[in-house]
Amino acid sequence: MAVLILDAQTIRLPAKILHHQIPLSSTFTSFPSVPNTSSLSSCRQMRLNAPTQAGPCPDDPLRSHPRQLRSQQAALFLRHLGFWGHQLCEMRRMAVLPGKHTFPFILKACSNLKLLGLCKQVHSHVLKFGLDLDLHVVNGLVRGYSVAGSMGDARQVFDEMPESNLSIWTSMISGYAQNDCSNEALLLFNQMVADGFEPNGATLASVLSACAQQECLVLGERIEEFMRERGIELGVILGTAFVDMYAKNGAVAKAREVFHCMQEKNIATWNAMIHGLAVHGHGNEALRLFQKLEKEGTILNGITFVAALSACCHGGFLEEGRKIFNSMKTRYNIEPQIEHYGCMVDLLGRAGELVEAEQLIRNMAWKADVMIWGALLTACRKLGNIEIAERVVKEIVALDPDNHGVHVVLSNMYAEVRRWEDVLKLRKVMREGNLKKIPGSSLVDEGD
């Protein structure tokens, strides 16, 4: 029988993880009051006109919202915060106190819409009704704070529980992993196992995500061994997590092995494999996998095209990249996002097609940011195209007036072709604007 021992001596966690201090938020000091509103939904009106009932029935309108409402209806529900506030008041007026089945459904709605303010508001009522130690309610609070990005609040709720169950541990670890707090996720997982909890599939998937971020290949391999000896099935979620973890750790062969062993795959599995192949120099294989995915008729998403375009960038496949990019709208009705344009600018820049890259940026439906202009400036520097570089620098400075690094890049380009007058003019502009290059700060990749 395998024992998953995850202390420092066994898995050799990086020192920055072992010595990391997890910050906690300050104690809750105030909560916004429940707003009053005269605009009530039909669901609320039906509930208020219904006969008084005891037991769990008053929770029914509350529990129906997170499960049944679409995003627009949920937004309307949250705009009228008085619905649930008034519902709670009505329950109290009828001598029916909210119980442990009431708040988890409200907190699920908070999680779905990622509203920190509302989560705090619900938390205040949880405290008032003395349900702050109920396992289901606490799990909802941890998840609600986590998806809203408030990990300090989530950790405070977690730490204040005298005893937690596996679901709460998993929610906390998952919250850390999803908020790029991989150090904390791995530390907490270590503590969970030390406290005698055996991880389930959801826990392991979150830990594998943290391993992918922190390049903890040894721990990922240990988890695979643990699963094999315990007979834990490698389903879609765990399989995808392993493919992603191995690929991001550079173990492409292992990622490929897991991918091909999976009996069932979803689009996230394909995306992880294609992207992993692309960034590790297997562009041809990545594109073959993308073409196979197209033939299977699987519904692609934006992440799929980022992975495929990345393969084209790393492999220098200009024509294939153009074809894939153009197919997004014409064939798949997917509107290219800023990250897709970024890949294409990078691809065109590497191929020396600077005029086409500039035109692509200017024709974007999205407003170009500093990073995408910076990618074009990098290509201009490598190819010595001062004319386009001058226009790009103006665009970057318009977006970020304090960005002095671009002036240095342009000054160096002038110097390389001995345009000394332009060098002096630009340096004068920098002096008058009190611009000094911050050491180690540059938009432009100085490598080849």
Q: Is the pLDDT of residue 257 over 90?
A: yes
Judged by phi (left if over 0) then psi (alpha if -120 to 50, else beta), residue 146 lies in: alpha
Average pLDDT of the segment spanning 285-312? 95
Q: Which residue did the predictor score with more confidence, 312 or 218?
A: 312
Mean pLDDT of the chain: 79
For position 307, what pLDDT does the model report?
97
For position 183, what pLDDT does the model report?
85
For position 403, what pLDDT does the model report?
85
Q: Which residue did the predictor score with more confidence, 17 or 101?
A: 101
Question: Environment class of residue 436 by beta-carbon count within 10 Å: exposed (0-12), middle (13-18) or buried (19+)?
Answer: exposed
List pLDDT tens digits, range 380-407: 999 999 999 999 999 999 999 888 889 9
> In whole angstroms, what is the distance from residue 430 CA to residue 434 CA?
6
What's the Cα-to-Cα distance from 107 to each of 35, 70, 81, 178, 294, rounded to whole Å? 17, 16, 13, 18, 39
Quickly list DSSP for 98-155.
Answer: --TTTHHHHHHHHHHHT-HHHHHHHHHHHHHTT-TT-HHHHHHHHHHHHHTT-HHHHH
What's the Cα-to-Cα distance from 12 to each of 51, 101, 301, 350, rounded to whole Å? 62, 42, 38, 40
Amino acid at 73: Q
For position 57, what pLDDT does the model report?
38
For position 88, what pLDDT does the model report?
59
Dihedral (C-alpha) 277, 282, 286, 287: value to the nearest 10 degrees?
A: 160
Average pLDDT of the segment spanning 277-284? 94
Instruction: Give the least confident one: 201-215, 342-356, 357-371.
Output: 201-215
For position 84, what pLDDT does the model report?
57
Q: Is the pLDDT of residue 339 over 80?
A: yes
List pLDDT tens digits, range 72-93: 444 444 444 455 555 656 666 6
Q: Which residue did the predictor score with more confidence, 325 or 218?
A: 325
For position 419, what pLDDT does the model report?
93
What's the Cα-to-Cα distance from 290 to each of 185, 238, 285, rounded to whole Å? 32, 22, 9
List pLDDT tens digits, range 11-68: 444 444 444 433 333 323 333 333 333 332 333 333 333 333 333 334 444 444 444 4
Domain boundaries, the chain: 94-112+139-155+166-226
Q: Which residue did the predictor score with more confidence, 185 or 13?
A: 185
For position 108, what pLDDT does the model report?
80
Percent of the chain topping pLDDT 90: 47
For position 213, what pLDDT does the model report?
80
> In whole angstroms, what is the distance from residue 281 CA to residue 274 CA?
11
For position 96, what pLDDT does the model report?
63
For position 58, what pLDDT does the model report?
40
